[in-house]
Structures are given as C-alpha cells and as structure tokens.
Amino acid sequence: MLARALLSGAFAVAVLALPGQAEDRGEGEVLFRPCGACHMIGDGAVHRVGPHLNGLFGRPIGGAEGYEYSDDLIAARDRGVIWSEELLDRFLAGPRDTFRQTSMVFRGIRSPEDRAALIGYLRSEGGTAEAQNGAEPAAIDPEIAAILEIAGDVAYGAYLSSECTACHRATGGEDIPSIAGMAPSVFIAGIVAYRNGTREHQVMNTLSARLGDEEIAALAAYFETTE
Amino acid sequence: MTFNRRIFLGSAAAVTASLATPIVISAQGRPRVVVVGGGAGGATAARYIANDSQGAIDVTLIEPTRAYYSCFFSNLYLGGFRDYDSLGHSYGNLAATYGVNVVHDWAVAVDRDAKTVRLAGGGAVRYDRLVLSPGIDFIEDSVPGWSLATQNAMPHAYKAGSQTQLLRAQVEAMPEGGTYAMVAPPNPFRCPPGPYERISMVAHMLKQTNPTAKILIADPKEGFSKQGLFEDGWERHYPGMITRIGPDFGGDVVEVDAEAMTLSIDGAVESVDVCNVIPAQRAGSIAFAADITEGNWAPVSAYDLSSRADPEIHVLGDSAAQGAMPKSGFSANSQAKVCANAIVAALSDGRAFPPRFSNTCWSLIDTDDGIKVGATYEASDEGIVSTGGFVSQVGETAEVRAETYRESLDWYAAITSDMFG
C-alpha cells in the first residue's frame, strides 16, 4: 500500500504575524481562489484533492486526520519537522523544491509579497491549531467516499490508464504530474474535482466528464499498483 | 513507469534484417501480428500488443527508417524552439524490452489470401492479424507543377526528416525582405492545425532574422482549425507579415513552377523565395496495395479499427477513414490502444474492453504562447463520433498560454515514451 498525498496541509507551530497581514487579506483571498479547486478552508471544510487547511498553523506536519500524505511528508512528520514561516514561504515558492514527492499540481508563487498575502489569508480564515483543538476530524467528501467503497477492477483500470499515459509520465513532468503509485483517495479526489468542475483544466475536465464511478475506481485501483 | 503488467522480455532482440531471399517467416506456434509503419499508431500498437499479450503474441514491426522523427513538434524545430535531434527516437527499446521484431524494410504488397506481407528486400512475413499504420502519401497532381521530383525545390516537409531540415535551411537562406509561400492542403489532411502552426513558427524565425520578409498562404479551404486563435496571434506577434488568400480570392486555384520559383494564384503570378507545397493527401501506399481503400482512405470499423474490406487487417491513424477524429499523432496513439486491446483479446486470453478515444492538439504561436484543442470520442456503427471537447480562447492570459506551452512539452515527452516504452 503506497501512501501518497498531494500536499502537506500541516503548516505547523506558531508563526509570527506577517507584515501587512490584515491589509493583505483581500489580496490573499484572490490568491487563494485557484487553491480552492483542491483545498477547502473555513466552516465545513473537508478533504478534497488536498487536505482541508483549517488549523494550518500549529498543526503537526502531515497531521490532518483522514488524509493520506506522501512518503516524504510522513518522513518529515516522523522527524518532528514543523512548519516555520520560512518553510511555508519556501514551500509556496516551489512545492517540489521543498518536498520532491508531493504531487500537488502547482508551480509555486514567485512574488514574496503574494506569498505573504496568501499566508495571511490562510491564517485569518483557518485559525490556528489551538483554535481547532477539540474540533471533529474533517470528513472526506461524500462523493469521494462513495467511490472509495467500490472495489476497482484493476484490469479495466489498466486498459483505461492507456488514455492517461499519452500525457502522464511515471517520472512526471514540469506541468503534467506523475500519477503512478498515487493513493486511491487522492486519485479519486482529483478526478472527481475535475469531473464536477471544481478543479479546472480543459483536458482533464473533458476526459473526466465521461468517467463513471466504476471507471474512476478501476483507474484508482490500477494506478495504486504502479511505480 | 513500471506497470504491474508482465513485460515480455523477448529473446529476439532488435532484428534489422532486410531479407535477401524470398523466404516466408512463420510464427512457430504463437499467433503473429505484423505492424506496418513505426509512427504514433504503429509503434504504439506494437508495444501494447507485445506488452499486454505477455509474450503470447509474436509481434513484427516493419519500418524502413532506423529512427523515428516525429512530424508532431517538427514545426518547433522550424521555429528554432528545439533541435532536430530532439525529434528522433530509436526503435531499440521496442525490441530489447518488449520483444518486438523490428524489420527495417519497405512493405510493398499484401497477399490477403496467403496472409503475407511482401518486403522490398525480397522476403515475406506471415500474419494472423495485420496492422497498417503507414501515415500519408501525397496526391501528386493536386497542385499543378508540383511532384515528388520537385519536392526538394519546393519541399512539403510534411513527413518529418530531411524535408524538415531542407525547409528550415531554405527559410534561413531567404534574402532580406523575401517571400515565403505556403500552398496549404485541402481537407482532410494530417494535423489540421499543422500548416498554421508552421506559419507561426516561420514568422517567429523571420521576425528575428529577416523582419521585412513576407509570408503568403494560398489556401483552398474556407476555414481552418483554431483559425481565430491563430489569426489573433499573428496580429499580436507578426503584424503585417502574413497574408492568407482563401478560396474566395483564388486560394484554391494554384499552380507552381519549381524552376522559375513562382506561385500562380488564380492566374496572378508571384515570384517567391521559398515555396512550401503541402499537397492533397491520401492513405499510405500499402493500404492501396492491400486493396482496402475507398477513394483516398481506408474505411474501418470504429470498434476495433478493422478494415471494412478485411476484418483481419486493421488501419490506424492518418490512413484510416474512421469518422470524427482528426488525423494526428495523438489520434493514432489513441486508436492503436483500442486496436491492441481488440487484437490481444482475439488472439490470446486478454479481456476486451469498450473502445474509447481521445485527442488533444497543442500549437505554438510564439514564445510561450501555446494553444490547444481536444475532444473525447466513442465508437458507433457509423464511425467514431465526438462526445465532448474544448478549445483555447482568444484573450487568455499570458500565464495560461505559457502553461499550455509547457504542458505541450510534457505531452511530447509522454507520448513518445508511450510509443517506445
């Protein structure tokens, strides 16, 4: 069983207030919109393609219950690594430069000012880990949970996967990520997000639109077996 | 990617024999599939049949060239965005990893009764199923004055290789303020956006090296793929450089004179410095030799790409009359996988799954300005039909266009890996 995840949502420990946090909130909200295709934050947030981002600051790395993280994020968690302001800033500048195995499809934010604005927004909307203490673990999106219940037909998934491999290499590319070895929950969450349009990509939206739940489960079951 | 499909490590390594004597190669017990043409359709089919049958099927790929140079992305070489070597790919891995017998020879005839393919080198190869993926050939009299004999004076560059290098050399040698002319092909033809991406790439090159040069397109078609996107891009990046003459103004009444280097459009004669003639097209000659064509193309079933004339012959990619899919490398790759699944199911113990197809076509207009169009398809009794699609929009942000271009680079690496393993 390979445990991989799109993204560490565990930006932990006390982070000093960022300069201009309050005034950057509006800009941060705008910057968060593309993130919202995969992540939820605020009241009612649940795990989708990525983990929910409530309580991000102060949450142990890889610490959102019910979400499968990539091996290197789990390893970082096991080493007791916590998110400092600097680490979070570096992660947002280049996710794969920070965690090589993350399959988050995001090239990063070049502007330090934009990163600061986004961090400010995440703190203001999601609060701190302390504020989340005692909260119920975030549920998995019911649509995703329903597909996870289906036993995927691996052989059918292998056939269907040939449509994916015209664009996805096992090693991944600069803009088209690897999906080999992806955890079913993460794979399914991604496809569902494309299928219902909450995550936008013209090719993936078009391809996912014709995938039924059984086919998504088959693909997820197959890709979990690949390396 | 190491899939959990068993990979057949065949004992037959790369076979590069041109057979000197007219012997017939037999399959020695295993069902035999012969694939003619090592492009996006043929290479993909050979790889998937060999891999998915887990060695139960003997696969022979007949391809005259020893390296595959992709027609897709060759325009980027013309624009200076890639080097020529980056278009080349070896057949070695198909042989070494998947056990495909790679025979470098021309397939010149098909005996459908004896189920053999005759090779120019004198041999013959027996098949149980034959897959033809020969790409396109040109209809020589479609542009009066142009023939294969004059193709070096007026290159088509629509089969990648030396023609592509020749066209780039001609563009680079154009005099200051000279004229590059393209005679665009009529429908249907390989890669519908291809000629217009080429115009963009030539314009990009000329803008840097010869900015007073002009580009003239004689086009027999009323419209073309991604037309609004291309024309918007030409206006933004190359204002005043490109003129397209459609059929309303004689773009469908064209003659050329290779010796005089002139282009006549509805009787108006223009002297040009480069004349890129992309003639009308038809299925590769081996499809005609097999007598499975109707008109210029080979009709096939949408369910398994089998010939309407012979169910034991399958036709992939540009040569096939299959329905709604455009003639593209992506389409051929997609069709090859459906065909491979059907063949493996028929000849070994593989499971047959419902056919499904998709295609995406990326084009580059200028640096970091990429656009795309794509669709999904399914089989019907009438042919392959479209079930959904998308196209880039005029006015997209620079970041979206740059992402589209970067995405196309990843796609190129992925599809060539998908073809050759």
Give the tens place of pLDDT for each residue, B236-295. Answer: 999 999 999 999 999 999 999 999 999 999 999 999 999 999 999 999 999 999 999 999
3-state DSSP helix/strand/coil percent for chain A, to nearest 5?
45, 0, 50
Distance between CA atoms of residues B124 and B383, nearest Å = 32
Interval B388-401: pLDDT, tens:
999 999 999 999 99
Mean pLDDT check: name the lowest of A54-68, B60-74, B182-196, B407-421.
Answer: A54-68
**Do residue A202 and residue B334 have CB atoms under 8 angstroms apart?**
no
Residue A173 dihedral angles phi and psi, to the nearest 5°: -125, -170
Residue B180 dihedral angles phi and psi, to the nearest 5°: -100, 125
Mean of per-residue pLDDT scores for chain B: 93
Q: Tell whether the model's pLDDT for residue B42 goes beyond 50.
A: yes
**Do residue A202 and residue B333 have CB atoms under 8 angstroms apart?**
no
Q: Is residue B316 a contact partner of residue B306, using CB atoms and an 8 Å limit?
A: no
A175 inside 8 A of chain B by CB: yes
pTM score over 0.90:
no
d(CA A214, nearest CA chain B) in Å: 14
d(CA A156, nearest CA chain B) in Å: 7
Which residues face B275 on adjacent strands?
B181
**Do residue A170 and residue B330 have CB atoms under 8 angstroms apart?**
no
Which residue is closest to A174 within chain B, CA to CA? B410
Average pLDDT score over residue span B62-75: 97
**Do residue A210 and residue B376 have CB atoms under 8 angstroms apart?**
yes
d(CA B240, nearest CA chain A) in Å: 32
**Do residue A203 and residue B360 have CB atoms under 8 angstroms apart?**
yes
Taking Cα atoms as reference points, which of B356, B187, B96 lies closest to residue A209? Answer: B356
The pair of three-digit structure tokens given for residue B178, joined into one six-digit string:
């000279």
d(CA A111, nearest CA chain B) in Å: 14
d(CA A8, nearest CA chain B) in Å: 24
Interval B204-229: pLDDT, tens:
999 999 999 999 999 999 999 999 99
Instruction: From chain A, pick out residues whose CB is under 8 angstroms from the CB of B375.
Output: 206
Place A86 in a pLDDT band, splitting at 50, 70 and 90: confident
Which among A109, A163, A179, A222 is the top mutation candidate for probing chain B, defined by the most B β-carbons within 10 Å of its own β-carbon?
A: A163
Q: Is residue B342 a contact partner of residue B304, using CB atoms and an 8 Å limit?
A: yes
Distance between CA atoms of residues A185 and A139, nearest Å = 12
Taking Cα atoms as reference points, which of B194, B207, B198, B210 lies closest to residue B77? Answer: B198
Interval A92-116: pLDDT, tens:
988 888 887 776 777 788 888 989 9
Place B4 in a pLDDT band, splitting at 50, 70 and 90: very low
Interval B111-160: pLDDT, tens:
999 999 999 999 999 999 999 999 999 998 899 999 999 999 999 999 99
Q: Is residue B50 a contact partner of residue B420, using CB atoms and an 8 Å limit?
A: no
d(CA A128, nearest CA chain B) in Å: 33
**Do residue A206 and residue B374 have CB atoms under 8 angstroms apart?**
yes
Q: Which of B1, B360, B374 shows the shortest C-beta gap to A169?
A: B1
Place A47 in a pLDDT band, splitting at 50, 70 and 90: confident
Distance between CA atoms of residues B181 and B202, nearest Å = 11
Instruction: From chain B, pick out residues whose CB is under 8 angstroms from the CB of A105.
Output: none
Instruction: From chain A, pick out residues whose CB is under 8 angstroms from the CB of B354.
Output: none
Instruction: Specify the DSSP element, H or E, that contains B299.
Output: strand B298-299
B311: cis peptide before it, omega within 30°? Answer: no
**Do residue A169 and residue B334 have CB atoms under 8 angstroms apart?**
no
B337 inside 8 A of chain A by CB: yes
**Do residue A165 and residue B375 have CB atoms under 8 angstroms apart?**
no
A22 inside 8 A of chain B by CB: no
A176 inside 8 A of chain B by CB: yes
Instruction: From chain A, pick out residues whose CB is under 8 angstroms from the CB of B358.
Output: 163, 166, 206-207
Which residues face B359 on adjacent strands?
B375
Instruction: From chain A, pick out residues whose CB is under 8 angstroms from the CB of B410.
Output: 167, 169, 173-176
A153 inside 8 A of chain B by CB: no
B390 inside 8 A of chain A by CB: yes
Strand pairing category for B242-245 and B214-218:
parallel
Task: Count interface pairs A-B at CB distance under 8 A.
Answer: 96
Interval B364-379: pLDDT, tens:
999 999 999 999 999 9
B411 inside 8 A of chain A by CB: yes
Distance between CA atoms of residues B7 and B14, nearest Å = 16
Mean of per-residue pLDDT scores for chain A: 80
More confident: A2 or A147: A147
The pair of three-digit structure tokens given for residue B126, joined into one six-digit string:
């027996």
Q: What confidence score (pLDDT) does residue A14 get?
A: 27
Instruction: Specify the DSSP element, H or E, that contains B257.
Output: strand B254-257
Q: What confidence score (pLDDT) does residue B375 get?
A: 98
Helix axes B194-209, B162-172, angle to 10 degrees: 40
Q: What confidence score (pLDDT) does residue B195 get?
A: 98
Instruction: From chain A, pick out residues whose CB is under 8 angstroms from the CB of B48.
Output: 162
A42: left (phi > 0), else alpha (psi -120 to 50), else beta? left
Q: What confidence score (pLDDT) does residue A137 get?
A: 62
**Which residues have a Cβ under 8 Å from the Cβ of B186 and sit 6 or more positions away?**
B142, B220, B221, B252, B280
Rg (CA), chain B: 22
Interval A162-183: pLDDT, tens:
999 999 999 888 889 889 988 8
Interval A13-40: pLDDT, tens:
223 333 344 445 588 888 888 888 788 8
Distance between CA atoms of residues A69 and A76, nearest Å = 11
Which residue is closest to A173 within chain B, CA to CA? B410
Q: What confidence score (pLDDT) does residue B226 get?
A: 97
Q: Where are the alpha helices (DSSP H) in A79-227?
A: 85-93, 95-98, 112-126, 129-132, 142-148, 154-164, 184-195, 202-209, 213-224
Q: Is residue B401 a contact partner of residue B364, using CB atoms and an 8 Å limit?
A: no
Q: What confidence score (pLDDT) does residue A75 get?
A: 80
Question: Which residues in chain A (76-135) have CB-CB distances under 8 A to chain B?
Answer: none
**Do residue B409 and residue A173 have CB atoms under 8 angstroms apart?**
yes
* 3-state class (DSSP) for residue B217: strand
Q: Which of B356, B360, B403 shows the shortest C-beta gap to A175?
A: B403
Q: Which of B387, B389, B410 shows the shortest C-beta gap to A167?
A: B410
**Angle made by CA atoms B89, B289, B114, in degrees to the nearest 5:** 100
Q: Tell whether the model's pLDDT for residue A126 goes beyond 80.
A: no
